[in-house]
Copies of this chain bind each other. A is one copy, B any other.
Amino acid sequence: MEHTYAVIMAGGGGTRLWPVSRKERPKQLLPLLGKETLFQSTVARLETLFPPERILVVTVAEQAREMRKQVPSIPEENYLIEPAPRGTASVVALAAAVVKKRDPQALMAIQTSDHFIRNVDLFRYLISTAFDVADKGYLVTLGITPTFPSTGYGYIQQGEPLVGDYKYPVYEVKRFKEKPDEATAQQLLRGGDHSWNSGMFVWHVDTILAEVERQMPELFKAVTRISSAWDAPNRKEIIEEVWHGLKSQTVDYGIMEKAEKVAVLPAGGLGWSDVGSWDSLFEVLLPDMNGNVSTNAQHLGLDTHNTLVYCGDDQRLVVTIGLDDIVIVDAGDVLMICKVDQSQKVRDVVAHLKKHHQEKYL
C-alpha cells in the first residue's frame, strides 16, 4: 500500500506518571517498559507497516530534538513542529494538508505516541482493514473492547455492520460519548456495543479535509495557507502566525462527532493500554508468579506480592519485605511509594507541590 502514511501525535505533557514524567520529560520519551521508550516502541510497531519516509510526527520543538535522538530512522522533514499546542483537531488537519501536498492519493493513520500495544500482529491486521474501509470514504476509528467499566475514556457506540469484503468486522458509528460516570460505564460495558475511543484514526486525506472544511472552515483555511507555503522560505513565520490564531479543539468534538461517514473497528485482545497511571504497568509488563513487576530495577522481594518497582538506576538494589499491592517509583530526586489502588492520587501530590512552589520536582 504505497499511498499509506502514519502520523504520530506526540505533543502532550501530562503528569500522571509523575515523578518519572515531568513537564520537560513527557511519558512517551521515557523508558517505562525497559530499555525502549513508548515513542520508540510506537515507531517500531509502525515500521512493520510503513517505511520511515512515510511516518510523520507532529510535536513541539523541544520534544522533536529528543525524538530525533531516540529514532534516527525518521527523516527530519517528517517532523511537523507545532509552535504551541492547539488541540488534536488542528494537528490532524495540518497533517492531512501536508500529507496531501506530498501525495494527493494518501491514506493516513493517526497514531498516539504514548500508548502500549502488545499484539502487534493484530494491530497490523486492524490497520490494513481500516485502510480498506477508509478507501471507501469513511473516517475510521479504532475502538478498544472494554474490559472494565472505565470512567476515564470516551466511548463509541457501534451501529450496523458495514457491508463489504473486510477481513475484520467493521461497524457504522452510532454515537460518540464523553467519559461516563460509573453507573453509565457499567451500563455501557453490559450493553456490549460500546468501545473505548483509542485516539487512533484512519482516513483518506480528502475525506478528513472535506470534513474540516465543512465543520471548521477557519481551521481549513489556516492549514491550506500553511501547506501552500510549505516549500516557501518563510514557512516557519507563516506557521507561527497562523497557528497562534487558532482555537484549541479536539478531533473528537470538533470533527468526529458530527462527521458523515464514520466507522469503528472494535478491537479486543490487542493488549492495549494508554499507560495512564502507575497501576496500568501491571497490564503492560508481565507480572511474575508473585504478581510483581519491575522495570529498570534490580528487585529482591521477600514475601512481596503485586508490587511494582520502577527504578531509573538498575545498579541500585531494591529490597522489599512483606509488601502487598505497592508501587515503588524511584525517579532520582523523588522517591514515591504508593498503594496500588491510590496511584491516581499522584495528581494531588503534583497539585500540592505546585501550590508550594516546589517547581524543581514538577
Contact = CB atoms under 8 A, between A and B. Distances in A.
B316 A334 contact: yes
A346 to B, nearest CB: 7
A164 B145 CA distance: 87
A300 interface: yes
Oligomer: number of copies: 2
Contacts of A322: 338-339, 341-342, 345
Contact of A338 (B321, B338, B339): B321
Interface string A316-353: 11111111001010100111111101110110110010
B319 A335 contact: yes
A315 interface: yes
A326 to B, nearest CB: 7
A316 to B, nearest CB: 6
20 contacts: A19-B317, A300-B349, A300-B352, A302-B348, A303-B342, A315-B333, A316-B335, A317-B333, A317-B334, A318-B335, A318-B336, A318-B337, A319-B335, A320-B336, A321-B338, A321-B339, A321-B343, A322-B338, A330-B335, A337-B337
Interface of A: 19, 300, 302-303, 311, 315-323, 326, 328, 330, 333-339, 341-343, 345-346, 348-349, 352, 358, 361
Sorted nearest first, the 4 A-B pairs with minimum C-beta distance are: A322-B339, A322-B342, A321-B338, A319-B336
Given A311-B335, A322-B345, A328-B337, 12 more contacts: A302-B348, A303-B345, A316-B333, A316-B335, A317-B333, A319-B334, A319-B336, A319-B338, A321-B343, A323-B326, A323-B337, A326-B337
